[in-house]
Amino acid sequence: MATQGPSSALFFDTINAYQRTEALRAAIELDLFSLVAAGRQTASELAEACRAAPRGVRILADYLTILGFLRKHGDRYELTDDAKVFLDRKSPAYVGDAARFMLAPELRESFHQLTAAVRRGGTAVSDEGTVSHDNPIWVEFARAMAPLMQMPAQLLAGLVGGEARQPLHVLDVAAGHGLFGITIADRYPQALVTALDWPNVLAVAEENARRAGVAERYALRPGSAFDVAWGGPYDVVLLTNFLHHFDIPTCEQLAARAHAALAPGGRALTLDFIPEPDRVTPPSTATFALVMLATTARGDAYTFVEFQAMFARAGFLRSEFHALPPTTQQAVVSYKRALNNNFSSSWACHEAKSCSSTSAIPVAASAAGPPHQDSELPWTGRARLTYNRTTYGDHTACL
């Protein structure tokens, strides 16, 4: 039996990928998926509802069928299961609005200049890229991206631990839409959350807090995370989708600020795209490094070992890794030394449970940096503790 020879399919699929993007964008702008869900299932019915040409709608709907967003029976279309959940505007998990941010002209221009970014070693569109002072793109991010973060926010809140009625003081750094702090406030009725971000961004977070019914326990601290006082002491500091924008020395400065703001025994919760040490697996996580190359001056997708070293040098006692399936993101929980090196009883109980889980990889930290990757670490194939990564779409636009 002859073996299959080299194929140019990957080349053409990659070169033509922009066509898939624009087809999906057109369908979202026409609200095609919501119209199909509402019962308009032929090209002529859809064309009348969205005021478009029947020929144009037919060709677009057929293309979306080929991609897997629609199914076709005769001349009628219906939504696939994924499209029902994520692309029908009436679904609580609707993510179509996220396209406004993910396809923002500023981000697309960053990738149009990717060759220059590779030569430069960082974004070629400006000196700072998306992390420039009070960049208005983050207002759009806050408005558009919250639906994509609902599940990660729930999973991250599950790492806080302790009794539901315990009083907690939480700082959400670069809060954006605020969903991570808001979810903790919803889960812990006595939690007080402080959100730190640019004033225009915080207006969106405050609106979301009001909508969630936690506005009375939601305080605002406007300004730059580098300049404004963080306050404290806090029991939890959230660093969600933030550190990847910066180089390691800058991340260590932010980790040190988190350490200083925490009460003894407190913890920093970092949410990020954390690839394995080979930096090419899993693909949905490892590809995020290219996003940072195109859009920031010095950002990257950091491994757990790198995060562990950052927090160790910032003074944290130790850090542990948590996979967050079915999302494509991961978390690092970093612990500040408690008085007498003891956690409170409720947190100590959670600590024991975390360390017994196969999704938690505790690694002792030292000021000298991370340990060597030996058989205790999860990526060697000989680990005592392992984790499974389950992908749930590619959310690598969570800049």
CATH number, domain with residue 36:
1.10.10.10
- Are residues 34 and 155 both part of a single domain? no
Residue 274 inside a domain? The answer is yes
Q: Which of 57-61, 282-286, 390-394 has the lowest mean pLDDT?
A: 390-394
Compute how many other C-beta atoms are within 10 angstroms of the C-beta atom of residue 226: 10
Return the sign of the alpha-carbon dihedral for residues 261, 254, 160, 91. Answer: positive
Query: Is the same domain home to 152 and 87?
Result: no
pTM passes above 0.85: no
Same structural domain for residues 68 and 174? Answer: no
- CATH classification at residue 226: 3.40.50.150
Answer yes or no: do 34 and 141 share one domain.
no
Does residue 86 sit in the same domain as residue 141? Answer: no
Residue 385 lies in a domain: no
Say whether both 80 and 228 belong to one domain: no
Number of domains in the chain: 2
168 and 289: one domain? yes
At residue 274, φ and ψ (nearest 5 deg) are: -120, 100
Cα separation, 347 vs 214, in Å, equals 24
Tell me whether residue 132 is in a domain. no
Residue 371 domain-assigned (yes or no): no
210 and 76, same structural domain? no
User: What's the pLDDT score for residue 141?
Assistant: 74
- Of 34, 57, 92, the domain-final residue: 92
**Is residue 119 in a domain?**
no
Residue ending a domain, choose from 68, 92, 116? 92
Range of the domain at 61: 9-92
Residue 79 lies in a domain: yes
| Final residue belonging to a domain, choices 60, 92, 124 | 92
Contact 195/219 with Cβ under 8 angstroms? yes
pLDDT tens by residue, 116-141: 999 999 999 876 655 556 567 767 77
Q: What is the mean pLDDT of the chain?
A: 85
Q: Is residue 389 part of a domain?
A: no
Q: Which residues contact 158 (CB under 8 A, 6 or more apart)?
A: none
Please tell me the distance from the alpha carbon of residue 47 to that of residue 59, in angstroms, as a whole number: 11
Q: If you average pLDDT over residues 327-348, what whole number do you get? A: 75
**What integer pLDDT is reported at residue 142 of this predicted model?**
75
Mark whether 62 and 196 lie in a shared domain. Answer: no
Q: What's 341-353 look like in SS3?
A: HCCCHHHHHHHHH
Q: Is the pLDDT of residue 192 over 80?
A: yes
* 158 and 275 inside one domain: yes
216, 152 Cβ separation under 8 angstroms: no
Identify whether 291 is part of a domain.
yes
